A and B are shown apart, each in its own frame.
Chain A
Amino acid sequence: MNEPAIQIQNLTKCYGPHCVVNQLTLEVPKGCILGFLGRNGAGKTTTIRMLMGIVPPTGGSARVLGQPADAWTPELRARVGYLAEGHHVYGWMTVADCGKFQASFYRHWNWDIFHAIIKHFNLRPNHRAGSLSRGQRAGLCLAMALAPEPELLVLDDPALGLDPVARRSLLEAMIYVTRKSGRTILFSSHLLSDVERVADRITVMDRGILRAYCTLDDFRARIRHFVLHFDGTPPSAPDLPNLLHSFRTDRELAVTLVNADGQAESILETLRPRRIEQVDQGLEEAFVSYVGERGEKSFFLHNLGARS
């Protein structure tokens, strides 16, 4: 009975020699809200589309609510709400038509939820869907995805292209409707503040590979940022285990480490800095450090002066 909502085993998708999702293995338990993070092209949308049976995988397998993801049945589709990233609706339909059209496919359809969300987004039933703003269209799509009260909700970058107000509305609606029912939500996003507000746990994908699966606190705690202050020009960063990147300026050396332990701090101390400062990072900074470019970078003002 404690079957995970999503089980992914070595899921792979390659286009020619290029693998956009590489041997992804993951389990998402029921009832959790999972933020699916990664840069553009990390493989988030492809993973979601493979889960939804829209893109056939090159290798591996996945199960959604216990059923194989390459053989979706209508019953399974009824249990899973899916919001694709473009917020597509048929533009020639009115808001009411959209609701009626979508409801005709479901045995269970909660009109209260649909109307509540429509109202939340200030949509009138006779509004033509094609003339809605992007935020309103997202709201309409969310209403159509939530009204069947699915057990699993998969949202592919739901806030993409929305202004902060629309984003906030979308999140509020999502939280309001989903939280109390305890259903599973998987949503991908670039907006870390949204994820921070909603998600229990996150996964981070980088160039097709799953690199992190943890709680938000764990993620923040595992990425540590040190600033070493020197009286003179700082030395290059030493060969530190799990170094993400370093940044040298005229008087400082900043290093970002992941999974750092006491040994790393001891090595930093051997550089004899005037002071070592550990800086707490928000999710956004931690994420940028984690998936950003690795290696050493430097920026010296005295070089600029010498050149001038």
Chain B
Amino acid sequence: MISINIEKKLKAYHGQQVLHIDKQFATGSITKIYGPSGSGKTTFLKVIAGLISPEKGVIKADRETWFNAEVKINLSTQKRNIGFVFQQYALFPNMTVRQHLEYATADENWIERLLSLGKLESLQTHKPDYLSGGQQQRLAILRALATKPRLLLMDEPFSALDTKMKTELIAALKGLLKELNITTIIVSHSPQELDGWADDEMVFE
């Protein structure tokens, strides 16, 4: 169970607004988040990851406290065991597809399985510059899964995929997330693409 109750100031065009979230995410659940641009969806994911600190509140993962403003606990991103799929992918230009996964894990069998899941076996020696947008996005998802995280945060993870690839990938991911019991939070501009998959949803205003 991931339990979040935070307040974070957001800079907006017309002054400041406050993002206030009070929400529990059951272990192994999949939650989709949608809402207009600038409503704080990405900021929320980064707050959970520990990449941004909120002004107030508490974040807990089961019995472990990740953040508590009052007693000044702020567990580093490295120790939270999360996977993060960035909206702009944030792939490493100096690494090949396989090196991306090897940077995250030493488990060769797991790497093979991930490459097969993302249909990137034949491209494993390619660097991001030589991949299409869809292939880059799949690599970003595989890299986030490589550490077998307890919590997977995905920011627009399917935006560059064609319908066929998206359907296949979602089906494959569904089984994998269930098998590893990974709690997942997905920000999406097209919430209907996750219909029948997500257990819960949050709407940002």
A binds B: no
Residue ranges of A at the interface with B (Cβ–Cβ < 8 Å): none
Residue ranges of B at the interface with A (Cβ–Cβ < 8 Å): none
